[in-house]
Amino acid sequence: MRVTMDLMRGWQVASGKWTLMMMDGPYHRNRVSINTRVRVHRPDLTTLWPWLLRCPGARTDHDRVKLLVGIWRAARRETGKLWPQCSVSAIAGMEIDYTNKLVLAPMVRVGTLPFRLLAAEYGADITYGEEIIDHKILKCERRINDVLGTIDVVEKGTDSVVFRTCSEERNRVVFQMGTSDAVRALRAAQILCKDVAAVDINMGCPKSFSISGGMGAALLTKPDLIHDILTTLKRNLNTPVTCKIRLLKSPQDTVELARRIEKTGVSALAVHGRKVADRPRDPAKWSEIADVVAAVSIPVIANGDVFEYEDFERIKVATGASSVMVARGALWNASMFSPKGKLPWEDVKREYVRKSILWDNDIKSTKHTLKEMIMHYSCLEFPEGKAVIKSETLADLARHYGEDNYYELINKSRFSFGGSR
């Protein structure tokens, strides 16, 4: 066994195939993975409680939950009480490396915590959350969820979760925001910027809701407002700031906007290779992304028409981009991030359901994601689609996908830690 202190004032306790740092019992009972470090510190930065787990046989969330229940009970016997409250160490100002990264794109009602973790498990290096409007965030408060071991952004006076994250994805999750005002964007970002790896501004959404509110693609024709929003965030946040745009009417217009964005000091620029009027069926214009790459020195993330693992290399070669972002291809089968090839569709769906159960995902979001998967490979009029549509709870989905025992195990483990639901 070895114990070392890293630059983030956390401790690594490693032995064999496992690395684990346990904090208080219930707070991080799900934060165990093979060859993973969990960095934590107490508020007073003086006392740390390492706890070593040896069990090379565990390979799934199901196994880990069972093991962690046992660990927590052993810790109580050892100490005679719950361990002192600890908190995840913030990594203020730590930049993401945007070189040769596979990136999960922001997708509304899809990019919640379970799907982000699913994509990361298959190989995604950076995962964007779904776009959330600044007005909505400003109606929320940040809460620590001791039962799940998550940080939740919740609507004030309710239990409605708007954004949920955890320490496991702290170094790769990007919070994407819709905004049309610099001050409002800053106030919203300050609520959760310490819990994410970067804050991204959506400047490419062509939906009428975004455009009518002066957000998304409406910003593409307002370079002064873009400059105001990005520079305001850069001046006041220690968290990296990025943005995502679409192509403008001409390649030169896109290049000029990209150069202006670069001057704001953003850490990276994602470019979707379609114009506002283009439809998803229209081919992405990789050559126009290449024009942007050639014109700026900041990392450019290329997005558009990436459906297979081999497409990551194809678009990189064609554009010269630093990294590659994928949306629909990952939605249809998140295992496309794996260099080993896609897993069977059925396996990916079931793993998504399990993660939705584990992280108590919103049923509407879970159903929407499953329906999108089903519509690509099958039809909602078939029995599976009808069962998903009729499901009203995660328990209903668990029964349909044969995960009843897993659902019961998770609920029992929550109850044993004083949780509810």
Residues 305, 394 share a domain: no
Q: Give pTM, 2 decimals.
A: 0.79
Output the average pLDDT for the chain: 82
As a whole number, mean pLDDT of residues 116-138 equals: 98
CATH of the domain at 160: 3.20.20.70
Q: What is the pLDDT of residue 90?
A: 32
Token couple for 206: 């062509």
Give a yes or no: residue 95 inside a domain: no
Q: What is the pLDDT of residue 383?
A: 87
Residue after which a domain boundary falls, among 34, 64, 88: 88
Give a yes or no: residue 8 inside a domain: yes
Buried b (16+ CB within 10 A) or exposed e, 376-408: eeeeeeeebbeebeebeebbbbbebbebeebbe
Residues 257, 170 share a domain: yes
Q: Would you say 76 and 82 are in contact if contact means Cβ atoms under 8 Å apart? A: yes
Q: Determine whether 52 is exposed, middle or buried from the number of CB atoms within 10 Å of its CB (0-12, 13-18, 19+).
A: middle
- Going by pLDDT thresholds of 50, 70 and 90, the confidence category of residue 414 is confident
Q: Domain containing 386: what range? A: 346-416
Q: What is the pLDDT of residue 379?
A: 81
pLDDT for 208 beyond 70: yes
The pLDDT tens digits of the residues spanning 238-259 come to: 999 999 999 999 999 999 999 9
pLDDT for 72 beyond 60: no
What is the count of structural domains for the chain?
3
- Taking every pair of Cα atoms in the chain, the longest distance, rounded to a whole number of angstroms, is 68
- Going by pLDDT thresholds of 50, 70 and 90, the confidence category of residue 93 is very low
pLDDT for 309 beyond 50: yes
Q: What is the pLDDT of residue 45?
A: 25
Q: What is the pLDDT of residue 67?
A: 54
Give a yes or no: residue 94 inside a domain: no
pLDDT for 10 beyond 70: no
Q: What is the pLDDT of residue 114?
A: 98
Q: pLDDT > 70: what percent of the chain?
A: 76
The pLDDT tens digits of the residues spanning 139-158 come to: 999 999 999 999 999 999 99
- Going by pLDDT thresholds of 50, 70 and 90, the confidence category of residue 71 is low
Give a yes or no: residue 421 inside a domain: no
Residues 352, 329 share a domain: no
Q: Determine whether 222 is exposed, middle or buried from the number of CB atoms within 10 Å of its CB (0-12, 13-18, 19+).
A: middle
Q: Residue 411: how many CB atoms within 10 A of its CB?
A: 18
> 411: alpha, beta or left, given left = phi > 0 and alpha = psi -120 to 50?
alpha
Ramachandran angles phi, psi of 152, nearest 5°: -115, 135
Give a yes or no: residue 97 inside a domain: no
Residues 168, 62 share a domain: no
Residues 236, 143 share a domain: yes
Buried b (16+ CB within 10 A) or exposed e, 16-49: eebbbbbbbbbbbbbbbbeeebbbbbeeeeeebb
Q: What is the pLDDT of residue 303?
A: 98
Give a yes or no: residue 96 inside a domain: no
Residues 17, 82 share a domain: yes
Residues 303, 350 share a domain: no
Residue after which a domain boundary falls, among 337, 361, 387: 337
Bigger pLDDT: 381 or 357? 357
Give a yes or no: residue 93 inside a domain: no
> Is 205 a residue of the active site?
yes
Residues 354, 216 share a domain: no
Single out the catalytic residue among 140, 166, 205, 243: 205
Q: What is the pLDDT of residue 82?
A: 38
Strand order in the sheet with 140-145: 140-145, 150-155, 161-165
Give a yes or no: residue 141 inside a domain: yes
Q: What is the pLDDT of residue 413?
A: 83
Residue after which a domain boundary falls, among 316, 337, 358: 337
Q: What is the pLDDT of residue 417?
A: 56
Residues 326, 355 share a domain: no
Tally of residues, the chain: 421
Residues 187, 57 share a domain: no
The pLDDT tens digits of the residues spanning 11-49 come to: 233 333 233 333 333 333 333 333 333 333 323 322 222
Residues 163, 142 share a domain: yes
Token couple for 337: 């991030």
What gap in Å lies between CA 202 and CA 229, rounded to an integer?
11
pLDDT for 58 beyond 90: no
Residues 221, 169 share a domain: yes
pLDDT for 409 beyond 80: yes
